Structure formats: structure tokens, C-alpha cells
Structure 1
Amino acid sequence: MSFRIALSGLNAASSQLDVTADNIANVNTTGFKSSRTSFADVYATSNNDVTKTTPGAGVRLNTIVQQFSQGNIDFTDNNLDLAISGEGFFTMKGSSGVTYTRAGAFSVDREGFVVNNNNDRLQVYPATSNGDFATGSLSDLQLQVTENAPQASSRADIGVNLPGDAPIPTSTPFDPTVASSYNHATSMTVYDSLGTLHTATLYFVKDPAANTWQQNVYIDDNPVSLGNTLSFDNTGTLQSPASGIVTVPSYDPNNGAAAIDLSLDFTSSTQYGNEFGVNSLQQDGFTTGRLTGIEVASNGVVSARFTNGQSSQLGKVALAGFSNPNGLQQQGDTAWAETFSSGSPRVGEPGSSNFGLLQAGALESSNVDLTEQLVEMITAQRNFQANAQMIQTSDAVTQAIINIR
């Protein structure tokens, strides 16, 4: 009997060494979660053994439990490297179905999909046309590889200060080529529907009437809007036009693009002091943009940045949680699959409920404590040696009995 008991101890110590060796081997594996062995004693029960005189029958491996504690966050130079700080798993979809992982080392395949090293695609909530996300479904995250479409200028906010003591120009009528026919000028870039830039020049001419100016608009040195009246009160605040907006007539750029319809908002313009100044000059158009980079916010929003200064939301990373993570089935390659024991996945957004936040340009390292594993290895080694000694002792006892004459 003692042979079998000691043999079960050897098997248990060997299993403990196997698990410890696996932990140590994966000390540098991204997103790896360490395991520990759980043992249970073996006892042959009998309804007649009310006095508890039957000894135990050894030990058996009860289960191997994974430890889903947080690993350290190591920063990298790749914006697509993602680490979860807190609870949750990345949801991946590939040829083998849906899997879950904590390893966020992602890259882009030739079709623009964000994938891991197994070519499984990262799942996100798709972006909608109104700037929100469709949280009722998941889709593959695909980067926008085409150019960002241009937007024609339609509105410009003009914040200038016109000097209150400005003299009336000596030359009349207004002529942009004659500097003495206007007081001040400034220019800005506007865009047509094809993304072609055009230069809009604004000229300001002091009117003989008190606190009144004439404003003229030229685009590409072509007159577009002349004689727009700007009036101020005696505190320098704009009074006319009442809305502050000057509507510029349509301008045809003659390049196949649609006509430029521009509104100028002078609400923030003033008439103070004796110096001309441009405080703000902004318009809402932009040219065609090429992809320059990807940004992932801590709440999982993935955005593409373009050379025209614009950004586009591509999706929102979805995290999955389980009631019993220890019930997940290990698939290898630092991935897990759903089982009956784990329960169904609960999908949510980073930072919501009990889901953790994302860190872009970082990876979660293995949570293996190497010092602890080395101590565990020594313990398992001693257990193995003790059980081997038990077998040797049992053999000596048996041999002694055999040698009785």
C-alpha cells in the first residue's frame, strides 16, 4: 500500500514541477497568466469504518488554477500595442472562432485589419455616421487606408481689431493694387470641394461715416464681394450686420469643383485703440489627407489621423469579461476560449462597469513572480525526494519480510 501512496506523491510532485517549469518558461511571454497546482487527498471510505482505522490512500492532482492577477505594463514604440489595466480580455476572431486574450501585440495585415500574431482580428464596436458607436454588434477593426476626403470651406470666423482713429484713405475708388486706397488687409486659405486651396484676401476701408468700415473680399485676386458695411458703436462693439455674418456670393474656381459659398462671421471683431490686429482667422475647410498615424484612447476609441489635421473614428475596442475566468479553456498562444464553466462573455467598453482602461503603446507582461517560482521548484523537488525515499524505505521493509526464514 505504501508503494502506491508514495507513487501518488511522486506523481503530485512531478505535476507541481511541470506547472512550475511552465511558469518559469513563460516569464517573458506577453499577457501570460501563471498557474498553481491544487491537490486533494485520496481516502478509501467504507460504511463499516466508523472508527477511522483506514489510512489515506495518497494524493491526487485536483486542478491547475490560473492566476489572473495584473501583470506589469511595459511601454513600447508601437501605437497598436495595447495593454489592459484592470479586468477584461481582448476579443479576437479568426479561423478557429472567437478567442480571448490579454496579449495586445497587434499589427496591420495587407488588407488593413488589425491582427495579432495568429492573424486573428481584433473586435471593436463599429463607428456610426453620427460619431457614436454601435454597441449592439462587433466587427473587425480595419484601418482606413484611403485618403481622407476634402471639405469645402463654407464658414470663416474673422476676429480683427480695426483702429478707431484710422484716417480715410487718400485714394479713391478702392483698388487692391493701390495701397493708399485701403487701410488694412489680411488673407487666409480656403478650399473648394476638390480640396484645392485658394487665397481669400480681406480689405478694410475706413468710411467717412463715424465708426463705419467698408469690407471687400477677393479670392485668387478676383473680386467676389465688395462694399460690405461693418459698423461699431462708441464702445467698439460690432453693431452691423446685426448677426455679424457677411454672406459672400458664390465663387466659381473654374477647375471642375463646385462653387465656393462662404459666410464670414465678424462677431468677434472690434474697433479699439489705434492699431490693426488679427486675433483669429479660422475657416472650416480642409484639403485631402493621407493617413499619418493611429491613436487609441484609454476608453478604447480608435482614431485615424491625417495630414490635413483631421481625424476619423474607426471603432471602439470591446472588452470581454467572465464570471469565472478560471473556467476558460487555454488554447495556446496566450488565448482562451469560452466554456460552460466560464459562463458566457459579458462584452463592454473600457472604463465602464468593472472593465479596465487601455494603455496604447504598451504591453502587459507576464504576471509570473520568478522568485516565488524558484521557491516553488525547491519545494516540489524536496517533495519528490521525500516520496522517493518513502518508496526506498518501503522496499527495504518488504525485502526484510521476504528474507525472513
Structure 2
Amino acid sequence: MSFNTALSGLNAAQADLNVTANNIANVSTTGFKESRAEFADIFSTSSFGASGTAIGNGVLLANVAQQFNQGNLEFTANTLDLAVSGEGFFILSPSDTNTNAIFTRNGEFGVDSNGFVVNNAGARLQVFPVNADGTVTATSLSSTIPLQLPQTQGVPTVTSAVDIGVNLPANGSILNPLAFDPLQASTFNASTSLTVFDSLGESHVVTAYYVKVADNQWATYYNTTDDVGATLPIDITGGIAGAGGQLYHLTDFDNSGGFQSNTPDPIITTAIDFGNGSDPTQTINFNYANNGTTQFSSPFTVNVLNQNGFPIGRLTGVEISETGVVRANFSNGQTNAIGKIALSRFQNAQGLSQIGNNSWEDSVESGTPLVGEALTSSFGQIRSGALEVSNVDLTAQLVNLISAQRNFQANAKTIETNNTITQAIINIR
């Protein structure tokens, strides 16, 4: 009997050594959670209970329990390196054909050939769908989708409105609006240019020319260039006939230099055909009111110059907030929210089933995953450009090695002692 008791001790010590060795082997594994060998004694009883003189029958390995305490954060220069500071697991989808969710604390993510954000095993990071402002539209596990980075910003946005605010010099010379010529600087007092976009996303430079026609009154012409570089006058709907029959608008100021009115109002161009196959019915509304348009005795200045068109944009970068909102930045200056990283937690994290690669699956013991957003309920904060390192305490593990080794030696000594006693009995004559 004592041989078997000592043998169970050897097996337990060996299991302890194996668990400790595995912890030490993964001391540099991102998101790794150390394990602890838990033992229980073996005690035989009869149907009437244990005898007062009964002796235990050894030890057995009761459980190998992972310890989900927080590891330290290590900061990197990669935006897609993610860490959860606090409670929560990232949710992953293993593949197109296997949509069963798996869970991890390892935030080493990259991008595959299709633009999906994946871990080093190819599992896709799951996010909640969001509105344009980053608010989540659904927060259930079934509503999560793989995070995919867009390559373009979709179709271009045609320029339809321009906000413009200028100061026109009150001491400017009065000129004849019928003598306006965009190639002769002496026929206008000031000018400014901006870039607009047609329905194909192609850019065009539109120039506004300001001509003082009377005290407190200015005429404004607009020109651009067509697809072959020729000057293209832009007419104003309902405007005033000017040089070469081009239609312009008037802007009036009061005696204090404040903006008073436009004629016509609103200032909307007639259809512009840029000659490149874009929409020939494009019009632009120029808005001077409430944009700081003045006539003071100071040099010509541009205070406001904005337009609402955009070309097709290429992805230039990704930003991930502390709450997990993923925003894609594009070369056309646009920023779009494309998802919010989903987190999950469990009533009993130690009941999760290990599947390798620092990943787990839910089980009956863990309970169903509770899904939510970072910094809500008991979920932690998402840190972009950081990784959670292994929570293994190397010093403590080395001490465990010594203890396991001593336990193994002690149980081996028990077997040796039993062998000596048995041999003595055999040698009795």
C-alpha cells in the first residue's frame, strides 16, 4: 500500500513540475495566463464511514487552474497591438467556415490579404457594427462582425456648397465690371482659389475674382478650367450680365463694413460641365453670409474657405479609442468609424476550455459569454499600441521548481525506505 501511496506522490510532484515548466516556457508569450496545479488527498472509506485509524492512500491531481490576473502592459508602435486593461476577452471568429466564437487576451493583431484584422492564427477580430458617429447599433454576440479595413472611401462626393468668408479692402479702387478679364490683374481688386470635386472625384480649381464697382458694393466673377486647361467662366443663376456676357453677383456692405446682402440670393452657379465625362448638371452654392465676410480698410484676407466635396480616399491609418471604436483615416481627409471592438467576460473564467494559441472556448463550467463594450459595466479599457505580457512571475516559478523537486525526492525516498523494509522481511529466516 505504501508503495502506491509514494507512487501517487511521485506522479503529483511530476505534474507540478510539468505545470511549472509550462509556465516558465511561456514567460514571454503575449497574453499567457499561468497555471497552478491543485492537489487533493485520496482517502478510502467504507459504507459506514472512515475508521478512526484509517490512513490516507496518497494524492491526486485535482485540477490545473489558470490564473487570470492582469499581466503588465508593454507599449509598442503598432496601432493594431491591443490590450485590455481590466476585465474582458477579445472575441475571435476562427474562419469563414467556423463561426464559433473563441476568446483571447492576446492582442497581437495584423491584417490579412482581404483586409480583415486577424491574429497570428488567422482568426478574425470581432466588432459591433456602428453608426457614423461610432455608436453601437447592436451588442449581442450574434451581431458581431469581423473587423475589415476598407481600402477606399467609397464613391467620391461632388462639391455642391462652398462656405467662404473674406475681407474686401474698403480702400480698393473702383473698377468697371464690364472690363473684367481674368488674365489681367488690373481688372479686378482681389482673388482667391479653392479646389472643388466633380462627380468622378476629379479635382478642379475654382477662382473667385472680386471687383469693386461702387462704394460698399462688389461684383464677384467665378472661373475654372476645363479638361484641356481652357478657361471656363462660371455663370451665376439669375446673375448680372458682365464682361463677355458672363453672369456675376453683387455683394453689398453697410457703412460699418458689415455684410449686408447678395444679389442674387442664394448664389448658385448654373450647370458646370468640366468636359471630362462628369455630371454636366453640377451646381455650386456659394455662401458668404455668417462666414465673416466684411469690408474693412485692411488688406484682402480669406477668413473661411470650406467646400463639401471629396475625391476617392485611400486608407492612410487606423485609430482605436479607449472604448474600442475603430476609425479609419483616409487620404481625402475623411475619418470613418468602422466598428467597435467587442469584449466578453464569464462568470467563471477558470471554467474556459483551452484550445491553444492563448485562446479559449466557453464551456458549461464557464457559463455563457457576457458580451459588452469597453469601459461599460465591469469591462476594462482597450489600449491601442500595447500588449499584455505573460502574468508568469519567473522568480516564483523557480521557487516552485525547487519545491516540486524536493517533493519528488521525498516521495522517491519513501519508496526506497519501503523497499528496504520489504527486503528485510524477505531476508528473515
TM-score normalised per structure 2:
0.86
CA distance in 2 between counterparts of 1:186 and 1:147 reads: 29
Q: Secondary structure, in 3 states, of the residue corresponding to 1:151?
A: coil
Kindly tell me: are residues 176 and 29 of structure 1, through their superposed partners in 2, closer, same or farther at Cα, counting changes over 3 Å? same
Residue 293 of structure 1 deviates from its aligned partner by: 2.9
CA distance in 2 between counterparts of 1:27 and 1:185 reads: 66
Could you say which residue in structure 2 is the equivalent of 1:190?
196
Please tell me the residue identity of whatever aligns with 1:90.
F
Q: 2:256 is matched with which residue: 214, 218, 235?
A: 235
1:120 aligns with 2:123: yes
Please tell me the residue identity of whatever aligns with 2:304.
S
Q: Secondary structure, in 3 states, of the residue corresponding to 2:36?
A: strand
Q: Deviations over 1:169-199 (max 9, x none)?
A: 3785333233222211111111111011111
1:219 aligns with 2:252: no
1:368 aligns with 2:389: no
Could you say which residue in structure 2 is the equivalent of 1:323?
347
Please tell me the residue identity of whatever aligns with 1:196.
E
Kindly tell me: are residues 172 and 249 of structure 1, through their superposed partners in 2, closer, same or farther at Cα, counting changes over 3 Å? closer
Deviates more, 1:69-78 or 1:188-197: 69-78
Q: Secondary structure, in 3 states, of the residue corresponding to 2:214?
A: coil
State whether residues 253 and 260 of structure 1, in contact with CA within 8 Å, keep that contact through their aligned partners in structure 2.
Answer: no
Deviates more, 1:171-180 or 1:61-70: 171-180
Kindly tell me: are residues 65 and 380 of structure 1, through their superposed partners in 2, closer, same or farther at Cα, counting changes over 3 Å? same
Could you say which residue in structure 1 is the equivalent of 2:404?
380
Q: Secondary structure, in 3 states, of the residue corresponding to 1:18?
A: helix
1:261 aligns with 2:264: no
Could you say which residue in structure 1 is the equivalent of 2:242?
none
1:340 aligns with 2:350: no
State whether residues 214 and 228 of structure 1, in contact with CA within 8 Å, keep that contact through their aligned partners in structure 2.
Answer: yes
Q: Deviations over 1:67-123 (max 9, x none)?
A: 111222223343322222221112112255321111122222223222222222222
Please tell me the residue identity of whatever aligns with 1:229.
L
Kindly tell me: are residues 129 and 303 of structure 1, through their superposed partners in 2, closer, same or farther at Cα, counting changes over 3 Å? closer
CA distance in 2 between counterparts of 1:70 and 1:311 reads: 33
State whether residues 28 and 390 of structure 2, in contact with CA within 8 Å, keep that contact through their aligned partners in structure 1.
Answer: yes
CA distance in 2 between counterparts of 1:272 and 1:331 reads: 74
CA distance in 2 between counterparts of 1:215 and 1:243 reads: 11
CA distance in 2 between counterparts of 1:50 and 1:282 reads: 88
Identity of aligned residues (%): 49
Deviates more, 1:324-333 or 1:155-164: 155-164
How do 1:381-396 and structure 2 match up within 5 A? 381-396=405-420
CA distance in 1 between counterparts of 2:157 and 2:394 reads: 56
Residue 392 of structure 1 deviates from its aligned partner by: 1.7
Could you say which residue in structure 2 is the equivalent of 1:151?
157
CA distance in 2 between counterparts of 1:48 and 1:290 reads: 79
Could you say which residue in structure 2 is the equivalent of 1:288?
312
Residue 331 of structure 1 deviates from its aligned partner by: 0.4
Residue 46 of structure 1 deviates from its aligned partner by: 4.5
TM-score normalised per structure 1:
0.91
State whether residues 238 and 244 of structure 1, in contact with CA within 8 Å, keep that contact through their aligned partners in structure 2.
Answer: no
Kindly tell me: are residues 161 and 390 of structure 1, through their superposed partners in 2, closer, same or farther at Cα, counting changes over 3 Å? same
